[in-house]
Amino acid sequence: MSKSNLTTPRARAEAFAEKLRIDLPILLAPMSGACPASLSIAVANAGGLGACGALLMEPEAIRLWAERFREGSQGSFQVNLWIPAPTPLRSPEVERRQREFLASWGPPVPVEAAEGGLPDFDAQCQALIEMRPRVISSVMGLYSAAFVDRMKASGILWFATATNAAEARAAQDAGADAIIAQGMEAGGHRGSFDGQSAESQMVGLVALVPQICDAVALPVIATGGIADGRGVAAALMLGASAVQVGTAFLRSPEAGLHPAYVDRIGQTEAHETRITRGYSGKPGRGIRNVYVDAAASTDAPPALPYPVQRGLTRLMREEALQTGDTARMQMWAGQAALLAEAKPAADIATGLWDEALHLIG
Ligand SMILES: Cc1cc2nc3c(=O)[nH]c(=O)nc-3n(C[C@H](O)[C@H](O)[C@H](O)COP(=O)(O)O)c2cc1C
């Protein structure tokens, strides 16, 4: 019998929630661009763990997010950053072809759009420590040993996202306190440490969770495609101690997303999302639309590496949002999008756990 079966799923989940000082083993997924404090306040006040996807936030915005959260809740949250990849090699010729391609989808793209313009990672890390979250999480790699020491010295837990057992073992060796096992069903970007091979190493959650549970001696949090109590119960049966849920919260009013995006989530069947590099240069799962398909066609120029592609697509993404044009809009969502309900986030969080408890007893 694998070690994950030595206790009941419910007891395991409740023990983990107690350690996190939350009432429900339901974690809001950190979602860059879709994680306003209002959403975390609702989830945390319902007993779950809030989340801040800080990737694109300057230190001051990170501080303000924490202030705003604490004005609305005495609960807890995680804050998340993408681990930076080495600076990409530039390719002026492919950038030129990509700018030409994108000009047929939106406004002309200036050469300097390729610069990307991301916040300074070290300054963000400093802001993360200062906001005193219960948890700091990582995706696409591991924090440095020095930063892990700082988290530990500040009493902050580190949850590391892994998309396979090898990444989970590496995270354990580096001092992670829990593993977020991200199945290929997940909405948003792939958490793979090696961005190059992300598409060729897609593992579904049902195969992934037990293998990561067997590979490490840490609690495992399942994420990807979980959007109702059946998914929560299944994840706990597979050995998870908690679930992390993204797409299922995106139709709640507290998420505040564009109404056209919200509508599309509610109409998207499992086969209607796909992995694309067309928006950011890194692979992510979003709702299939005309642009995503065109960007993947053999006639289209290859996507530039992150953050170059992200910079090049900014004007098109902004125009699509302003005009409500879902043919071009960036609409990250997971394979369980159709199960997402348009109701308050607190009801979604409590509903997930109540239904799971009904199933697992
Ligand atoms: C809009 C959106 C943005 C996301 N941004 C991040 C992010 O910044 N960092 C991260 O670790 N994961 C991010 N993710 C992935 C989620 O943390 C999580 O793995 C995923 O939502 C789980 O799958 P689900 O959407 O099917 O619940 C994002 C997901 C979505 C839908």
pLDDT of residue 209: 98
Q: What is the pLDDT of residues 125-168, one digit of tens each?
A: 999 999 999 999 999 999 999 999 999 999 999 999 999 999 99
Q: What is the pLDDT of residues 253-279, one digit of tens each?
A: 999 999 999 999 999 999 999 999 999
Any alpha helices (H) in the chain, and if so which ranges? 9-20, 37-45, 59-72, 92-103, 121-130, 145-153, 165-173, 205-215, 229-237, 259-267, 290-296, 308-323, 345-360
Is the bond leading into 307 cis (omega within 30 degrees of zero)?
yes
pLDDT of residue 138: 98
Ligand 1 atom at shortest distance from the alpha carbon of 285: 31
Ligand 1 atom at shortest distance from the alpha carbon of 223: 22
Nearest Cα residue to atom 11 of ligand 1: 139
Q: Report the pocket of ligand 1 as residue ranges, CB < 6 Å.
A: 29-32, 34, 53, 55, 80, 139, 161, 182, 185-189, 223-226, 244-248, 332-334, 336
Ligand 1 atom at shortest distance from the alpha carbon of 247: 25
Count of CB atoms within 10 A of residue 1's CB? 5
For the chain, the first-to-last Cα distance in angstroms comes to 21
* Token pair 């564009």: residue: 258
Ligand 1 atom at shortest distance from the alpha carbon of 32: 8
- Model confidence at 196, pLDDT cuts 50, 70, 90, reads confident
pLDDT of residue 253: 98
Query: Ligand 1 pocket: which of 26, 28, 32, 230 to mutate (most atoms <8 Å of CB)?
Result: 32
- The helix, strand and coil proportions of the chain, stated in percent and rounded to the nearest 5, come to 45, 15, 40
Ligand 1 atom at shortest distance from the alpha carbon of 187: 25
In the reported structure, the alpha carbon of residue 6 is separated from the centroid of ligand 1 by a whole-number distance in angstroms of 30
Amino acid at the residue 355: E
In the reported structure, the alpha carbon of residue 139 is separated from the centroid of ligand 1 by a whole-number distance in angstroms of 10
Nearest Cα residue to atom 29 of ligand 1: 188
Nearest Cα residue to atom 3 of ligand 1: 31
What is the average per-residue pLDDT within 335-348? 98
pTM above 0.95, yes or no: yes
Ligand 1 atom at shortest distance from the alpha carbon of 333: 31
- Among the listed residues 174, 231, 173, the one whose alpha carbon sits nearest the alpha carbon of residue 351: 231
Alpha carbons 127 and 129: distance in angstroms, whole number: 5
Tokens linked to 253: 């009013």
Whether pLDDT at 243 is above 70: yes
Query: Strands (DSSP E) along the chain, which ranges?
Result: 26-28, 50-53, 77-82, 135-139, 157-162, 178-182, 188-189, 220-223, 242-245, 273-276, 284-287
CA-based angle 247:249:254, to the nearest 5?
135
In the reported structure, the alpha carbon of residue 186 is separated from the centroid of ligand 1 by a whole-number distance in angstroms of 7
In the reported structure, the alpha carbon of residue 1 is separated from the centroid of ligand 1 by a whole-number distance in angstroms of 32
Alpha carbons 356 and 353: distance in angstroms, whole number: 5
Q: If you average pLDDT over every residue of the chain, what do you get?
A: 96
- Model confidence at 197, pLDDT cuts 50, 70, 90, reads confident
Tokens linked to 223: 């994420």
Nearest Cα residue to atom 8 of ligand 1: 32
Amino acid at the residue 216: V
